[in-house]
Amino acid sequence: MGQNSWGRTQLGRRSLIAGVAAAAVVAAAGCSTSKTGEQPSSSNPGRSLFIGAVTMPETFDLVTNNDAAIPQVLLYNVYETLVKIDGDGQLRPLLATAWTVSDDRLTYTFTLQSGAKFASGTPVNADAVMKSLNLLRQTGNAVIKARHQMVETIEATDDKTLTVTLSKPSQEWLYSLTSSSGVVIDPDGFTTLATKPMGSGPFAFDSWNKGSDITLVRNGSYWGTGTRFDKVTWRYFKDANAMNAAMLSGDLDIISNVAAPQTLPQFSDPAKFTVLEGTTNGEVVLGFNHDTPALKNLKLRQAICHAIDRQAVIDTVWGGKGTLIGSMVPPTDPWYEDLSNTYPYDVEKAKQLVAESGIKNPTLRLRVPSLPYATGAVQLLTSQLKAAGITLKSDVLEFPGRWLDVVYTKGDYDLTIVAHVESHDLGNWANPKYYWHYDNPTFQALMAEADASDEQTAIEKYKQAAKILADDAAADFLFLLPNLIVTKPDIHGVSPNATSLSFDLTTVTSKLT
């Protein structure tokens, strides 16, 4: 068997605009710089590329940390994977030139690129890939470990052949290798993951000025088609308007994601700017903590969903740019169904359900991260839920640090709002230890059956699972973030779609280079 078709998308179903987690507010300070990697070749001068973003990583360790800002910079640019996902959601070869799957779907055999090497000069051989995958599955964060839990053995059959044996068939495992769960790390960089990432990509890490910028340089010894940019600098802004101003003044070549969609008319002159709108995996979720006694009550959860006018949320916090969804599935997934009308806006129905819940004067803590779409929704949600008889007490937590600690890790909240930008993330709901603490054995069993099934059966079962989440009011799935990118008109090759966590620079060119 060759490549499977799991990454296929269905872009023609409906018009989509999408986004990534770059729409956050940074609060880092101080300065820390380290150097590594190949320097640009003076015999083939290129140019510098400046990219604006809002969320700076607090660490580069994407093995133990689940911050989406890390792979945004490093995935496919510094770290490569055996297979990657392109802008259309298709699986493509990268460090593996080909792979086969046994008839029982338990054994994967990968043939590696000849001549591939890390920026340090160390060969990317089967032994290095084996060590990297073992590092991920043994010491990775909870999401990474879950994605590798079915892996039984990893063997370097020979220098260019890697064999992976699973304990059970899995539709998702190969696809998971396209993300942080599959990065191939230079073994010499295992101890410097947090400060000095070392990979095999077309760029090498150069410097990191905390609170300001991250710089990558061209890997002059890259094994594949190299970049024509000598240097790429990610510049981080605490304020979306400041980032827009930098773009308008010519100090940036790209805004990686517009964090204030209502400002897009500033970039309407095609002689000066190109505006891209594409798809995303970023479901903005009003998450419920199912350990909160009141939120164990289905009628109260349903009341919350009926009480919220989600189109008004999109219009208020994201300039009307976004797609209504009803479950944890974007329209680009093969198992998508439009469930957005499961709980239509109905204040009277919400009041009735609050009364039927038996909970007198329900009061809930809404703890949101300092992200524009989250903070912008607080006042509206407070007003809408008050009309249904539900009181919110809200506070804003610095993102990523404090929110990750208080909400994500300690579960000290009742409601929260955050965009989940990971691809194929429906399975997070099958983990009762995940920060929602949603524990539904029927859902868990269905997800396990889907993963072990053939492709068509899996699609049907994933559809059923997504409907369970919707009907059970497991959360209020507010909308799908738009992906709004602005570039200078001489910049080409930027994918309008955010189908992975990477802002993939490998296809980006300029007529000036």
Q: Give the pLDDT band of residue 46 (cuts 50, 70, 90).
A: low
Q: Is the pLDDT of residue 22 over 80?
A: no
d(CA 351, CA 118): 60
Over pLDDT 70: what percentage of the chain? 91
Q: For 41-88, list the strands marked E by DSSP.
A: 47-53, 80-81, 83-85
Least confidently predicted of 134-138, 459-463, 499-503: 499-503
Q: For 147-238, list the strands marked E by DSSP.
A: 151-158, 161-166, 183-184, 203-209, 213-218, 229-236
Peptide bond into 57 cis (omega under 30): no
Q: Give the pLDDT band of residue 513 (cuts 50, 70, 90).
A: low
Instruction: Say how far residue 257 (Cα) sits from the centre of its chain.
Output: 13
d(CA 449, CA 401): 36
Q: Is the pLDDT of residue 6 over 50?
A: no
User: Which spans in 249-334 are helix H?
Assistant: 298-307, 310-317
Q: Is the pLDDT of residue 450 over 60?
A: yes
pTM of the full structure: 0.80
pLDDT digits 0-9 by tens, 250-308: 999 999 999 889 999 999 999 999 999 987 889 999 999 999 999 999 999 999 999 99
Q: Is the pLDDT of residue 2 over 90?
A: no
Average pLDDT, the chain: 89
Pairing mode of beta strands 391-397, 213-218: unpaired
Q: What's the rounded mean pLDDT across residues 131-144?
A: 95
Q: Is the pLDDT of residue 412 over 50?
A: yes
Q: For position 512, what pLDDT does the model report?
A: 67
d(CA 143, CA 120): 29
Assess contact for 476 and 487: CB atoms under 8 A: no
